[in-house]
């Protein structure tokens, strides 16, 4: 299974803490590892829990969001930050952006806006993690300048032996389905061998474009079923 993305929530209002925690954990693949009530406590918990992502308020006692983010950067803390704040003045937003936040959400907000931010962050983390190089198209996609289809996003670094056109067919086929399909059903739908379909489905699974559901029942091995995540 994919390792969950650990989130530290830094927010001074207990009621907002609980709402945001529930929102975060409604998005698959994210879990709240700790909650802090102010910036100083948040800085301490970043060191203790080493989260992947911080959701940071700005208006807090003892140390506000900008001061907290400045402390992270000065200390070289390796953590990404999404700001969730009622602050709408250009100065605050400009300062936060200069300090490298990956998104800025204005309170009050709807669950769908936070879900969008978290899913975008998950894609960013997947794309930028590890070693190696990426091309201009991938960088443009990370910056949001050139949105692309699932196939276009994946074909940039398609492994040897996989064909971009076949991949596109499989993505289109899966995204049109209302129910998850097995590798055999996918193969029949596209008109390719089952072993070939499984190779493409495994690639899509590793690329976080499909989710796998295991079907138990009857005699024999359980069946892996695949469902397109972005359709």
Q: pLDDT for 4-54, tens place per residue?
A: 999 999 999 999 999 999 999 999 999 999 999 999 999 999 989 999 999
pLDDT, one tens digit per residue, over 165-201 is 788 888 888 888 888 999 999 999 888 999 999 999 9
Q: Which residues contact 84 (CB under 8 A, 6 or more apart)?
A: 11, 20, 55, 56, 57, 105, 107, 109, 114
pLDDT (tens digit, 9 = 90+) per residue, 134-144?
666 666 666 65
Q: What pLDDT sits at residue 142?
A: 65
What pLDDT does 231 receive?
44
Which tokens sit at 179? 């129910």
Query: How distant is the alpha carbon of residue 50 from its chain centre?
Result: 17
The span from the CA of 173 to the CA of 50, in Å, is: 40
Question: Strand 181-182 to strand 53-56: parallel, antiparallel, or no bridges (unpaired)?
Answer: unpaired
Residue range 76-106, pLDDT digits in tens:
888 999 999 999 999 999 999 999 899 999 9
pTM score, whole prediction: 0.61
pLDDT tens track for 113-151: 999 999 889 888 877 776 767 666 666 666 654 444 455
pLDDT of residue 176: 83
How do the residues of the chain divide into helix, strand and coil, expressed in percent and rounded to 5?
Answer: 45, 20, 35
Residues 6+ apart with CB under 8 A from 147: 141
> How many other C-beta atoms lie within 10 A of the C-beta of residue 13?
14
């Amino acid at each position: 299974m994919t390792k969950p993305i650990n989130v530290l929530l830094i927010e001074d209002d207990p009621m907002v803490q609980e709402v945001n925690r529930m929102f975060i954990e409604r998005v698959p693949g994210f879990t709240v590892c700790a909650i802090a009530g102010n910036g100083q406590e948040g800085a301490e918990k970043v060191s203790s829990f080493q989260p992947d992502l911080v959701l940071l308020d700005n208006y807090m006692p003892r140390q506000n969001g900008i001061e907290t983010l400045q402390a992270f950067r000065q200390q070289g803390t390796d953590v990404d930050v999404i700001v969730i704040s009622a602050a709408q003045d250009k100065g605050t937003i400009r300062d936060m952006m200069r300090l490298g936040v990956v998104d800025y959400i204005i309170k009050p907000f709807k669950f769908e806006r936070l879900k969008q931010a978290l899913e975008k962050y998950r894609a960013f983390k997947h794309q930028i993690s590890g070693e190696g190089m990426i091309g201009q198209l991938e960088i443009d996609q990370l910056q949001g300048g050139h949105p692309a289809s699932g196939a276009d996003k994946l074909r940039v670094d398609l492994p040897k032996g996989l064909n971009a056109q076949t991949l596109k067919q499989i993505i289109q086929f899966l995204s049109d389905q209302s129910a998850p399909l097995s590798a055999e059903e996918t193969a029949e739908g596209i008109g390719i061998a089952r072993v070939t379909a499984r190779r493409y489905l495994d690639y899509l699974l590793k690329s976080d474009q499909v989710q796998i559901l295991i079907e138990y029942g009857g005699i024999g091995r359980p069946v892996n079923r695949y469902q397109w995540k972005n359709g």
